[in-house]
């Protein structure tokens, strides 16, 4: 279905890339057809500068553009205001979560101008730890022991049942995050469009399988002090409170065509899967 054209873009670039040739090349292509704003201290040929994500609003911006790798896109997903979809352009390494490579821009710009795109929603996690509200997670929330004396017991309460096992940590991931740390820890890869959570044990004393569960509240606790990581960023240290994980408002991403298991195809080499 044809959609309205995109006109005004808010751009966030990974720190350290603002002086690179590829950044200037991407900005030159985008500036030919769109009105641009840059978030933070970065500037480009008189483009409007916004000092924070709070200055991005659905009434003034049609799209947020993330220039960098997966970490940059995760940062944008945490900070982007509701109602403004995100387009990731990979200026980093593998860029599993990003939609485009810089070489894709000429075709993508034409499709944006013609309204030939669609908006995809991705499940996110919300969480509280005691009285503290944690940032929303697009990939995962990871609770890991703070010390390295005895292996603690972690307790997982989901769907009215409580399970306990000794391990180094426990991870709750979204389908988007199934190709991230959860995958490295032995978790399954599931279709990004599903509404489900993955519970992945990390280094259990005895083998404990990963679980795929329906979207519902999950409470994780431990008998030892723990750190909590949200999308790879430390959100709490040395805490003893349980973490209550719930469904957060979804993130919206701009896509050009459906590609099931796109992240898995990027994760593996081209020769490994066809």
Enzyme catalytic residues: 70
Closest CA to 222 of 151, 161, 159, 160: 151
Query: For residue 148, what are the CA distances in angstroms to 72, 144, 152, 201, 243?
Result: 31, 11, 9, 17, 21
Virtual torsion, Cα 192, 193, 194, 195, nearest 10 deg: 100
| Structure-token pair, residue 165 | 């096992």
Closest CA to 173 of 205, 215, 207, 204: 215
Residue with tokens 């109602």: 83
Closest CA to 138 of 265, 269, 227, 263: 263
Query: For residue 66, what are the CA distances in angstroms to 17, 40, 100, 168, 265?
Result: 12, 13, 10, 33, 21
């Amino acid at each position: 279905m044809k959609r309205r054209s995109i006109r005004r873009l808010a751009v966030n670039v990974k720190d350290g890339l603002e002086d690179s040739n590829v950044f200037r090349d991407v900005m030159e292509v985008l500036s030919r057809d769109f009105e641009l704003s840059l978030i933070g201290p970065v500037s480009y040929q008189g483009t409007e500068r916004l000092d924070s994500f709070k200055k991005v609003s659905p009434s003034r911006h049609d799209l947020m553009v993330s220039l960098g790798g997966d970490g940059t896109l995760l940062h944008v997903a945490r900070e982007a205001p509701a109602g403004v979809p995100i387009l990731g352009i990979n200026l980093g390494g593998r860029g599993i979560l990003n939609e485009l490579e810089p070489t894709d821009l000429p075709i993508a710009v034409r499709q944006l101008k013609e309204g030939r795109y669609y908006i995809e929603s991705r499940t996110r996690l919300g969480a509280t730890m005691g009285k503290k509200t944690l940032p929303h997670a697009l990939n995962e929330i990871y609770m890991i022991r703070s010390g390295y004396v005895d292996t603690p017991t972690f307790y997982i309460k989901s769907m009215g049942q409580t399970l306990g096992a000794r391990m180094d940590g426990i991870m709750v991931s979204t389908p988007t995050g199934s190709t991230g740390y959860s995958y490295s820890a032995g978790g399954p890869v599931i279709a990004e469009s599903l509404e489900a959570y993955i519970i992945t044990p990390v280094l259990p004393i005895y083998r404990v399988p990963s679980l795929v569960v329906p979207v519902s509240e999950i409470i994780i606790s431990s008998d030892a002090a723990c750190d909590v990581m949200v999308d790879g960023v430390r959100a709490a240290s040395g805490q003893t409170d349980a973490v209550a994980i719930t469904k957060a408002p979804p993130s919206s991403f701009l896509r050009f065509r459906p590609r099931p298991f796109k992240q898995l195809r990027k994760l593996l080499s081209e020769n490994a899967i066809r």
